[in-house]
Each structure stands twice: as C-alpha cells, then as structure tokens.
Amino acid sequence: MAEIHELSAVQLRDALRSGELSARQAAGHYLERIDAGNPHLGAFITVTAEQALQDAAAADESHARAARAGTRTGDGTGLPLLHGMPVAFKDLTDVAGVVTTHGSAALERRPALADGALAAALKGAGAVSLGKTQVPEFGLTAYSENRIAPPSRNPYALSRSSGGSSGGSAAAVAAGLVPFAPGSDGGGSVRIPAAACGLVGLKPGRGLVPAGESTGDPAGLVVAGPLARSAADAALLLDALVPGTPGIPGIPGTPAPGYLEQTTREPHRLRIGVSLDSPWQKTFPFVPDGAALDALAEGIRLLEAAGHETTEAAIRYDNRYPDAFTTAWTAGVGSARIAPQREALLTPLTRTFRRRAQLRSPARLGDALGFLHQFQRDTIAQYSAWDLILTPALAQAPRPVGWFTGAAHGGGYWPAAEWMGDADDDYRKQCEYAPWSSMVNVCGLPAISLPVHWTGGVKGAGLPMGIQLVGRMGSEALLLQLAARLGF
C-alpha cells in the first residue's frame, strides 16, 4: 500500500472503514509528519497529539465493537462518514479544551469550553482533530502571518505565503500533514490559499453549511468549505459539513445522492462567461500578471476541450462597493472584546480598522449593508446570462512572506517593532492580489478554485496558479462535477 499521506482522502476513508488501517495508525502517521514538517512550514499553531491519539483509540474501539456485534464494517456500515479521518481546524474555530488564539496576541489564552459549530459537525462525523492551524489576526487578511507564531509558508516555495485566512490549513493539506481540512471564507479565505497552494478550494453558497464560524458578520459573508487535493476529496468533506442529503431542485424533501457520488456524473454543456472585471479596479487599479493570465488561458482551454462554451463577460460593478464592503468586513473587529491595555498588541492593520469601525455610526453600517444587498441583486442579475463565471483566482503569483506588511522576517515570528508599513498600503496590496473573491461572498454564491497552471510549466514545478468558477445558487454539486471532469 502507498504511504498513508499519499492516499487520497477518499482512499483513506475507505481503508479506515474497512479496517485495513486503524485510526491510531492514521493519526500517528500524520502527527509524525507534522512534527517533522511544521517547524519549516508554520502550518500549525497548536498540535493536540495526546488528545488526537485518545480520540483515534476511541474510534478504533467503535470499529471493534461493530465487528464483535456482527455489524458489517467492510463497507463502513454502522460507522460515521469520516470515521477516524484526521483533520485540523483553523485557529478561528473553537475546539473544546483547546485555546482559540484568533491569531492575536491581544487576547487572553483560555481553552474553549465547547466545540464550535464546525468542529462539532466534523467530530460528530467521526473526524479526529490533530490541532489548530495558522491564521491572520481575526482572519482579516489574505496572508496567514501574525504576532504569536511563525508565518504559514507555501510548501512549493518556503519564501512565499500560503495565502489566507485559511493559509495554515491549505499549507497543511498541500504538504501532506492532513488529508483535507475545513476552511472558512468571508472574502476569499478558502479560495485564495487553495490557489496559492495548488489545491481545490470550494466556497459553498450562503446558508448551505451551518453558520457559527464567525461572529460580528452583519453581511453574512462567512461560510465554511473544504480544502482538498481533489474534487472528490472536497466533496467527501462537504458531505460531512452539510446536514442531511441534498434535495432535488424543485422537489422538496426528496433524497439525492451525496456530493461525492455526484462528482462521478457528467455535467451538462455549460455557457461560461470569462471576466477580468472587478469591483476593486477603480479604487485600486491593478494589472493581472502573466501567471494569472496564463492560468485563465489554461482554464479556458480545459473547459472548451471538455465541450463547454466560453464567451467574454463584461460585468459592471458599482464604484461604491469597496467602501461598503470594507465597512461590513471590519465591523466585527470593531466590536471584538479586547482589553484596552492589550490593544497595543494588535497588528497595525487590525488596530487601524478597529479604530475606524468604532468611529462609524450605526447608520453608516446600515447604509453599507443596504448597498451590499442591492449590489448582490444587480450582480447576480448580470451573472445570470451564463451558467458559470470564470476569472483568475489571483491576480499575482503567491507573494513573499512579509510582503504585505513590510515586515523584516528571519526564522521566527514578528514582534511589534518589526511590523512596518501601514494598514492602508497592506489592504491595497491584498485587494490587488485577490480582486475577484470578495464580491462572491457578498452575492452569497458558491465558487471553486482549481489549480490549472504552474509557473514552472509542469504540475508541481514552480508556483501554482488557479482559476475561479462562480456558480448560481445551489450549484455546488455542478462545480464539483466539473472540477472532477477537468481532472482535479
């Protein structure tokens, strides 16, 4: 058999359910890889090895009890969907008994009293948590660097960022430290690190996955979704995140195959609109670099070779979007409970946006939310001319570690004196880096990032670059089917 970390998540799931592998073997193998790889990668903030091995032993006992009772275990009958599967949670998610740092030096370190909604869902499905992964402070940025732990690095070039805010989770999956991982996405936080690390990253539509990952989210931007090495692996994790089974559109209450099973189906011929338009381009003019355009061209080639039609899509975005999105996006950090004497420990970006959020009137936030609702209606109406919208996932290749903040970085993490630059320059760089992601959250639509291009010309060589496909509401299965048919 291949090394455990070389198995796809679906293959590992099957081996665990059949008894070919024990949960303790799987957990132990990945913990050894974390111990060896994390010092260079910075993917994990906290590793919960002792608890993971206890939970894995309990999973093995459940498997043994089912066997003794005569329950069929060869096909996994009687076992939860993710029986014994190792996962990791980004350090914005509460896991009972483990400190949730939120990537901030300004918060006191207290273990969570209970699992958050995301951890509860995956633990309930049988997953074994190995620890907490690196995030930017409060999940605010497109890079995973903070003042409490080493930055999360790109497995394909350690001098480069793994993206954010699910950057630690993406780095862990790409480096084979976990088979797959849940992320959360409020402005691109699954799709950005997926593109940077050569993964499949799915942002489900609003309301599909139970909420609970984020507080202070008045616009309903944040949703949890899978980071995986393939569409099938992402579909397996989505099956565990979504309660029940998906229904058939137009026939309420009817059961339908799960997302994993649906990836085996052939999608119908699609009309796909290709666009470089962005709601940020007037405020922060940007020019996509060559790698981004190469990825887009490769995405078009793959889609057309699969029989789909691509046409240029000219999308008009309201110029008021950047201010309204920023107002909604930073509202939560303004209301975060931080002791006044600890505010100096915040990063410059967090401190700046917290102060601005606190100075805004409730009426201004209300106006911003009202505008975003209208933006959602207008944008979805434009997108409806096509089955899917195609954009590059990122406008630039993965950035060097420290590039956004101007931080001089050695081998550890950055104390306050080493954070240079200013918040507005940092934010501008992020918006130019990932200009096609946040409007999808505002619209509440599903979207997927696929690693179609490598700057070295061959898969695994150079840096990965991705495309983004934005679907209509309820099109998660279609996006996964298409990804699978394209070879991901």
The confidence score (pLDDT) of residue 213 equals: 52
Number of compact structural domains in the chain: 1
Residue 73, domain member (yes or no): no
The confidence score (pLDDT) of residue 68 equals: 81
Q: What is the DSSP letter of 345?
A: G
**101 Cβ neighbours under 8 A, 6+ residues apart:** 45, 46, 91, 107, 109, 132, 148, 149
- Whether the CB-CB separation of 297 and 465 falls below 8 Å is answered with no
The confidence score (pLDDT) of residue 71 equals: 59
The confidence score (pLDDT) of residue 245 equals: 52
Strands 128-133 and 86-90 come out as: parallel
Q: The dihedral of CA 191, 196, 197, 199: what is its sign?
A: positive
Which range marks the domain in which residue 417 is found? Answer: 131-485
- Whether the CB-CB separation of 100 and 112 falls below 8 Å is answered with yes
Residue 338, domain member (yes or no): yes
Residues with active-site annotation: 90, 165, 189
The CATH number given to whatever domain includes residue 226 is 3.90.1300.10
The confidence score (pLDDT) of residue 248 equals: 40
Strands 181-185 and 223-228 come out as: antiparallel
- Encode pLDDT of 303-343 as tens digits: 999 999 999 999 999 999 999 999 999 999 999 999 999 99
Residue 323, domain member (yes or no): yes
- Encode pLDDT of 427-475 as tens digits: 999 999 999 999 999 999 999 999 999 999 888 889 999 999 999 999 9
Residue 245, domain member (yes or no): yes
Instruction: Report the alpha-carbon distance of residue 160 to residue 479 in Å, rounded.
Output: 29
Instruction: Report the alpha-carbon distance of residue 351 to residue 67 in Å, rounded.
Output: 56
Instruction: Report the alpha-carbon distance of residue 230 to residue 134 in Å, rounded.
Output: 22
- Residue 192 tokens, joined: 């950005």
Residue 39, domain member (yes or no): no
- Encode pLDDT of 68-103 as tens digits: 876 554 445 689 999 999 999 999 999 999 999 999
Residues of the chain with pLDDT below 70 are: 1, 70-77, 211-215, 245-256, 408-421
Residue 99, domain member (yes or no): no
Instruction: Report the alpha-carbon distance of residue 77 to residue 86 in Å, rounded.
Output: 20
The confidence score (pLDDT) of residue 418 equals: 54
Question: What are 255's strand-pairing partners?
Answer: 247
Instruction: Report the alpha-carbon distance of residue 403 to residue 377 in Å, rounded.
Output: 36
Residue 1, domain member (yes or no): no
Residue 68, domain member (yes or no): no
**169 Cβ neighbours under 8 A, 6+ residues apart:** 43, 88, 89, 90, 133, 178, 181, 182, 183, 193, 227
Instruction: Report the alpha-carbon distance of residue 345 to residue 325 in Å, rounded.
Output: 26
Instruction: Report the alpha-carbon distance of residue 328 to residue 334 in Å, rounded.
Output: 10
Q: Distances from the Cα of 6 to the Cαs of 9, 35, 71, 173, 245, in angstroms?
A: 9, 17, 29, 11, 29
